């Protein structure tokens, strides 16, 4: 058995600030939860007699809000509509959230964590909720294809930079040749 002296070794952490304040960058999911879930089966029971395969439309959105000091709520919103010629088979709307703690992380890296990495971590759990909801509505479970959140984040950053560059290249409205005609 280790004695107390072995356990309490090396307590002088070089990355600790005054009064033991931790200066290490950290970002992690604190907890995750279903914030809102809506499942509609508007044409039941008739829909179970339809022979056609529904067309599935999947939309998603990522949002974040401060939830406290060094804590953000990241919301992964997934909207699914399954429709056919005779109408809607089912509609599922899910807001799956996670509380994310971020400390001592530069703003650009924190932004990337909140909008790319945190949704990537939350997605498998949200995917299971969707599959269960569709199954509980009486249909075969829907397994939403994996999403490359990091690739989408980088793509959106590039689009934003191009828009900003295009906006900077446009002459001001009061300059000769600029503005609306």
| 31 falls within a domain | yes
pTM for this one? 0.77
Alpha helices in the chain (DSSP H): 4-7, 107-112, 118-136, 149-169
8 A C-beta contact, residue 95 and residue 75: yes
Q: Is residue 142 part of a domain?
A: yes
Averages of pLDDT over each 10 residues, the chain, 181 residues: 46 52 86 98 96 96 95 98 96 98 94 96 98 97 94 92 81 46 35
What CATH number corresponds to the domain at position 136?
A: 3.10.420.10
Look up the domain containing 108 and give its range. Answer: 24-146
**82 within some domain:** yes
| Coil, helix or strand at residue 29 | strand
Q: Residue 125 domain-assigned? A: yes
User: Which tokens hold the place of 88?
Assistant: 């809607």
170 belongs to a structural domain: no
Q: Is residue 3 part of a domain?
A: no
Name the token pair of 9. 């070794």
Tell me how many domains the chain contains. 1
């Amino acid at each position: 058995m280790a004695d107390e002296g072995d356990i309490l070794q090396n307590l002088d952490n070089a990355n600790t600030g005054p009064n033991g304040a931790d200066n290490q960058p950290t970002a992690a999911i604190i907890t995750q939860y279903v914030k809102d879930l809506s499942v509609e089966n508007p044409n039941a029971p008739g829909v179970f007699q339809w022979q056609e395969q529904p067309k599935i439309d999947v939309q998603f959105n990522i949002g974040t809000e401060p939830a406290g000091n060094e804590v953000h709520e990241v919301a992964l919103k997934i909207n699914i509509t399954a429709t056919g010629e005779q109408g809607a088979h089912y509609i599922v709307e899910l807001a799956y959230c996670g509380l994310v703690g971020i400390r001592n992380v530069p703003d650009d890296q924190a932004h990337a964590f909140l909008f790319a990495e945190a949704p990537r971590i939350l997605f498998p759990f949200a995917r299971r909720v969707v599959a269960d909801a569709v199954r509980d509505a009486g249909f075969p479970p829907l397994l939403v294809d994996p999403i490359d959140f990091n690739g989408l984040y980088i793509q959106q950053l590039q689009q934003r930079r191009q828009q900003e560059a295009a906006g900077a290249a446009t002459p001001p409205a009061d300059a000769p040749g600029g503005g609306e005609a």
